[in-house]
Structure 1
Amino acid sequence: MEVIMVLCNVPDAALAQQIAETLVGEQLAACVNIMAPCRSVYRWQGKLENASEVPLQIKTTAAAYPALQARLLQLHPYEVPEIVALPLAAGLPAYLTWVAAEVLSSP
């Protein structure tokens, strides 16, 4: 089963915690790392924005990604949240097996 990492920034630590607990609790993700707050600079609707955000690193499977993305869209307050998935080229086999075992095979 292919393990992937999903990156998503959220506006604050409280929402980061809620999303992490929801995704792991619903077995859409095996693990969510809540990172230290960062500054994001981007252009939105023609205007330069500068915001504090909390990055999430979400470990899941490619098979669970569609359901995870749909759930993130329900939980996220942004009109167009950053939700990107990266394939993992390699990893400790025991860890990858654990991730796959913790995520529902057909969410």
Structure 2
Amino acid sequence: MQDEDIVQIYMTTDSEDVAIHIATTLVNERLIACANLTSGTRSIYRWDGAIRLDREITIIMKTVKSSAEAAVARANELHTYEVPCIVTLDVTGGHAEYLKWVREQTVPVAVGS
């Protein structure tokens, strides 16, 4: 396989508890290989006509491209936000053994299922 079949899913949440719940569920369901949680994120955005400044948890999840859509859908289902930030980013290179491990830990979702 090539490096291009690996993606990262970037997401933010309002609490560590929510982040841990989402990440643990997706790893358990083998939709992602792993997730990194980082506290201390400050987000500035407009919501309901007002500028907001909030503390959030950033989550970076690693998976295969064929599982990304299902992982995003499941993360959205588990999320507490009305409109969560969940984006998928292509991985174009990296440590070959790590990328192999991501593939081994993630069960690809068959097209059309």
Normalised by the size of structure 2, how large is the TM-score? 0.90
Alignment size in residue pairs = 107
Partner of 1:54: 57
Q: After TM superposition, where is structure 1 displaced by more than 6 Å over at least 4 residues in a row? A: none
Deviation at 1:37, TM superposition (A): 2.4
Q: Kindly report the root-mean-square deviation, in angstroms, between the aligned alpha carbons of the 2 structures.
A: 1.1
Query: Is residue 31–residue 108 contact of structure 2 (8 Å, CA) maintained in 1?
Result: no
Unaligned stretches of 5+ in structure 1?
none
Partner of 2:23: 20
SS in 1 for 2:66: coil
Deviation at 1:92, TM superposition (A): 0.8
Amino acid across the alignment from 2:23:
A
1: CA distance, partners of 2:81 / 2:19: 13
Unaligned stretches of 5+ in structure 2?
none
SS in 2 for 1:81: coil
SS in 1 for 2:39: coil
Deviation at 1:106, TM superposition (A): 1.8
Match for residue 41 of structure 2 among 13, 38, 41:
38
Normalised by the size of structure 1, how large is the TM-score? 0.94
SS in 2 for 1:105: coil
Partner of 1:82: 85
Partner of 1:97: 100
Partner of 1:8: 11
